Structure 1
């Protein structure tokens, strides 16, 4: 029953992380230590991403410019506008930093592993999905902060220190991973299970530290049942618009069905793996946890929805065809 409710095992891990941060948040002298551990985990996460991404696949995937271009436009264009719209719609009903989280959600890149896995399960273009997710994440390290700064106004101003942290914690480890992948990539591919555990542990640590600061700052005292309901309603609306919009966008472009499936998951999914580290670099700890709430809810919901609809998309022979 749990497998049907939570098809992706990372969903209960995130739920457990939020519960742990709510019950046992990091306090006092332990905060700098926890932040140091979180930063080290984030550096390791992006280093491993650099090791895994083969350069020749990137060059090959770029040739499918129609699919890659449409994925980029939808992920950073349409989704950013949807996030901005959600922020404006919820601003009168939610605390300002929580409403800002919807814009932050919109400017994030796609997931990597889950988007590729969903595309494979749905019968999509798996090779193009790998490249699309990788290119979106690589672009997102630079594009996401710039988009946020452009759309958020004074709330999204990126100071020099934050820019340096983005380069040092996200971009440089990825580049270092690219340089050493010749030697380390075979080992990482031979130990995929261990690499996945390291990935998810790094994300969970970043979420735990950020959400702990929000709990200490009184996030549960600031939010009541009505406001939590508004967050869930806004996330449901975003999911419908993002998944439906990505599918229709692929149809308007005349993409082949496998490419439309790739666009669906690469364009509509959003990455907590980039969101949590980026929030930690852009915002003070107490604010970062509040800003992360929409992407946490969206990320868990998209994993469940993707696992539900992917098998349906892959059953045209039984009359289940989504046009």
Structure 2
């Protein structure tokens, strides 16, 4: 049943972190120490991401600027426009914090690992997917804070300095990523020998941030603020958003005359949003805000996109083998 629903162990662990934070939330001095440990884990995570990325694949994929331009348009233009257009409908239904979370997910870059994995399964252009998804994450470290500053925190009562946030994101995410790229010849061979350690950091750091975020939200009364009906509306909003973008990502590349392999890469890179980069960025950008409610939409969207993309990738894989 779990395979049928495309629910993996990581998703179950995410749910477990929410449950654990609801029952035994961390607070006070322990929460401060936990936050420092989480920050170190995130820096190591992005160092490993930098070491994993193949320079050859990047060079090969960088040549296809039309494909990357279209993916960029989906990720940082189409998604934000849809999120902003939904404000008159969703703001009264979800409330300010959940709508901020919904809009924040629209501002995030694409995923890296799952975009590449689904593109590979569906026999798409993997090299371009590697380059496009990676470029999306790197440029997103600068674009996402600017969009958050202008459309979310810039409209709030609290002052927000996007420059300071970009500097923090650069130091925490981009600098470790670049170091990983520089030290790739020495680090990557060791990573290949111990993939379980890499996966543990990859998933463990995100689980730590989710637990810390929801602990703070639970202490602040999260579950007294969100009703079951509101949660269902949020799930429906994420589903509608994903459906609209996927339909456009399916037909626009065909209309523009891209080859099938490129269409697959555009579809999976342009329709997805990252949880791995989104949660750490939220921790930096929304200091003093109800972080649990802000990351809840991306957690829901993340699972929906994995389920839908998993089914589509498997179907396209079978179609390509029969052609």
TM-score range, shorter chain: over 0.9
Shift of 1:252: 2.3
1:90 maps to 90
The answer to whether structure 1 residue 197 and structure 2 residue 211 are counterparts is no
Checking the alignment, whether the CA contact within 8 Å between 1:105 and 1:294 is kept in structure 2 is: yes
How far apart in 2 are the matches of 1:70 and 1:174? 25
Shift of 1:258: 1.2
Q: What is the aligned partner in structure 2 of residue 217 from structure 1?
A: 220
Alignment correspondent of 1:119: 119
In 1, Cα distance between equivalents of 2:247 and 2:162: 36
Which of 278, 283, 294 pairs up with 1:275?
278
Deviation at 1:147, TM superposition (A): 2.1
User: Where does structure 1 lack aligned partners over 5 or more consecutive residues?
Assistant: none
User: Please, what TM-score do these two structures have when normalized by structure 1?
Assistant: 0.93
Q: CA deviation at 1:286?
A: 4.8
Is the counterpart of residue 303 in structure 1 residue 301 in structure 2? no
Measured at CA, do residues 90 and 133 of structure 1 come closer, stay the same or move farther in structure 2, by a change above 3 Å? same
RMSD: 1.9
Report the secondary structure of 1:175's partner residue.
helix
Contact 1:101 1:290 in 2 (8 A): yes
- 2:267 aligns with 264
Once residues 161 and 83 of structure 2 are traced to their aligned partners in structure 1, the CA distance between those partners, rounded to angstroms, is 19
Instruction: Check conservation: 1:213, 1:286, Cα contact below 8 A.
Output: no
Secondary structure at the aligned position of 2:4 is classed as helix
Distance 2:183 2:94 in 1: 46
User: Does structure 2 retain, via aligned residues, the 8 Å contact 1:217–1:286?
Assistant: no
CA distance in 1, matches of 2:187, 2:174: 18
Q: 2:251 — aligned with what?
A: 248
Pair 121,9 (structure 1): closer, same or farther in 2 beyond 3 Å: farther
Deviation at 1:159, TM superposition (A): 4.9
How much has 1:7 moved relative to structure 2?
4.3
1:148 positional shift: 2.1
Describe how 1:152-163 pairs up with structure 2 within 5 A: 152=152, 153-155=154-156, 157-163=160-166
* Structure-2 change in CA distance of 1:9 and 1:117 (3 Å): farther
CA distance in 1, matches of 2:233, 2:208: 27
SS at match of 1:315: helix
Q: 1:169 to 1:277 in 2, by over 3 A?
A: same
Partners of 1:110 and 1:269 within 8 A in 2 = yes
Please name the residue that 1:146 is paired with: 146
Mean CA deviation greater in 106-115 or 152-161: 152-161
Q: 1:229-262, CA deviations, whole angstroms, 9 ceiling, x for partnerless residues?
A: 2111111111111211211221222111111111
Normalised to the residue count of structure 2, the TM-score between the two structures is 0.93
The answer to whether the 8 A contact 2:146-2:162 is kept is no
CA distance, structure 2, for counterparts of residue 200 and residue 317 of structure 1: 32
Q: Match of 1:110?
A: 110
Over 4 Å off, 4+ runs: none
Deviation at 1:189, TM superposition (A): 2.9
In the alignment, the residues of structure 2 paired with residue 285 and residue 193 of structure 1 have an alpha-carbon distance, to the nearest angstrom, of 35
Cα distance between partner residues in 2 of 1:205 and 1:285: 18
Tell me the distance in 1 between the aligned counterparts of 2:86 and 2:190. 43
1:8/1:118 CA distance change after superposition, 3 Å: farther
State the match for 1:237 in structure 2: 240
Give aligned pairs, total: 320
Q: Once the 2 structures are TM-superposed, how far is the Cα of residue 228 of structure 1 from its aligned partner?
A: 1.1
Cα 1:193/1:253, change in 2 over 3 Å: farther
